Amino acid sequence: MTGGFLTRRQVLAALTSGGVGTAVFRRALAAQAEGRRAITPEMIQQAEWISGVPLTDTDRQTLSNSLSRLQRDFEAMRAVPLDNGVSPALVFNPAPWETHGNRTRGQVDLSENHPPRKPATEDDLAFLPVTELAALIRNRDVTARELTELYLKRLKRYDPALLCVVNLTEEIALRQAEQADRELTAGRYRGPLHGIPWGAKDLIAYPGYPTTWGAPQYREQMREEKATVARRLEEAGAVLVAKLTLGALAMGDRWFGGMTRNPWNPKQGSSGSSAGSAAATAAGLVGFALGSETLGSIITPSRLCGNSSLRPTFGRVSRYGCMSLCWSMDKIGPLCRSIEDCALVFGAIHGADGLDPAAVDRPFHWPWQGDLRTLRVGYIENDRTPRERTELQVLKDLGVRLVPIQLPTRLPVNALRLILTTEAAASFDELTRQGIKEGLNSWPQMFQEGQFVPAVEYLRANRLRTLLMEEMRKLFEQVDLYVGGNDLLITNLTGHPTIVLPNGFRRNGDIEVPFSITFTGRLYGEAELLAVGHAYQQATNWHLRRPDMSKLVPIQNG
């Protein structure tokens, strides 16, 4: 056969051969008549290298028949429409050795009484962390309506330079702000997010507004469900002011409107894929934002834009109503101006909802009531001594116990990326089958790659993932959290929580740009993790720096 179709010579040979050959030929003709490419023993022989399993001629003949039946099964399954929101029946559990049971969600409040003094300028007000804004709103020094109008004005003013907004949600924002003010007048205070304007990465669905996933093919997509995180923030009194950009289908910072910019260096992209969430928060255009991460999409743009952000433990925050890319790795988390802000937002959005099968209830209390001096903080040894590492000296002064550690190196961790590629290929299978590639960054090639990963190898990768999870479990027998480390792929595979926060500034030509530090905690250990990050910020104050807004003028977008 050539290209799956029968040649004249093959037709004649089959007709004169009789026996099994004729039967096989007739099945091939039937398959061809149905528009299906017949699977031949020759095809199987050419593809044996994929599995690495040598076959005999008899094996190939038998397998050609069974694979043809399997091909029909594939076609039957492909005929059933699958919305992106339909998850597989298999659910990833980052801590299979633990039992969850019935648990409460915990209590969250400000760690201290912040001075409720309204800043003299709008810029100063816009850049305040949530902790300060909450005190101003609660004491009626600022109304939710006033704050909402301020952020809407700033979004309109600076978006032409940053390209961080997909759609403003002005109508619902003003309605929610007015409700927040009415409730406060009536004596009802929902908590520290009451009246605080926020932005949603535009893979978070909210009825009445497009949810574009940053891709031109979904530019007009209207989804009826309200994402659990949006609903919970609404219940906490927060005000949704904008749907913010993401790189197409959660990759990078390029979307159908251009490239989202870094407010510290507007000639540079903000990285991604939570590009708009990072840029808008860093530029003081929202009080905080939500992003998502599969492999670096919160941590990476937060490093570049100087955010204080949290990627929670896998399963601590429901992903219902959010675009699915990789069911066993996707996570939703806050991008903020301070680590305590992350604690306040996380306190509102975490917990099971009965809609995301991976979401669990684990108690989270803030402020953390423990003693920092009881915590063991690991650090990865390098060619500098602990005395030469500023971050270790800050931690030592905080009273924690420093413990040298090594991250797992025994397993081929980079090879496990195929888990993401394969699940992503399944999530967007229809794009690949329709040949749709425009405006999707590097996804089309990766989606095609995922189509060629055998199920056996996908499951093998997940079995190796189990071994990696066990190695990380043993590491956390030595420490409660650790600082730094090249662990982005490891911890996204194992589901461990990470915070990122600015840790200084360096010169980049004629401008200063932030550089950051990460802390990674034990599974479900967000409280201790955030407590150390908060104490670190109180000792350093790098998070209080802000970009020069005068540099944010509309520029040619490449």
Which residues are known catalytic residues? 201, 273, 297
Q: Strands across the sheet with 511-521, in order?
A: 165-168, 239-244, 197-201, 288-293, 331-336, 308-311, 498-508, 511-521, 481-483, 376-380, 401-405
Query: Using the 8-state DSSP alphabet, how is residue 487 labeled?
Result: -
Enter the tokens of residue 254: 């390029």
Q: How many helices (H) and strands (E) does the chain have?
A: 19, 15
- Shortest CA distance to 209 belongs to which of 182, 155, 171? 171
Which SS3 state, helix, strand or coil, does residue 423 take?
A: helix
Residues whose CB is less than 8 angstroms from the CB of residue 480 and which lie 6 or more positions away in sequence, other chains included: 375, 376, 377, 521, 522, 525, 528
From CA 245, how far away is CA 532, in angstroms rounded?
A: 30
From CA 113, how far away is CA 103, in angstroms rounded?
A: 29
Greatest pairwise CA separation for the chain in angstroms: 95
From CA 472, how far away is CA 466, in angstroms rounded?
A: 10
Backbone angles phi, psi at 167, to 5 degrees: -145, 135
Query: Using the 8-state DSSP alphabet, how is residue 312 labeled?
Result: P
**CA-based Rg of the chain, rounded to a whole angstrom?**
27
From CA 243, how far away is CA 212, in angstroms rounded?
A: 9
- Shortest CA distance to 293 belongs to which of 256, 245, 326? 326
Q: Report CA 349 to chain centroid distance, whole Å.
A: 15
- Shortest CA distance to 276 belongs to which of 168, 197, 199, 173? 199
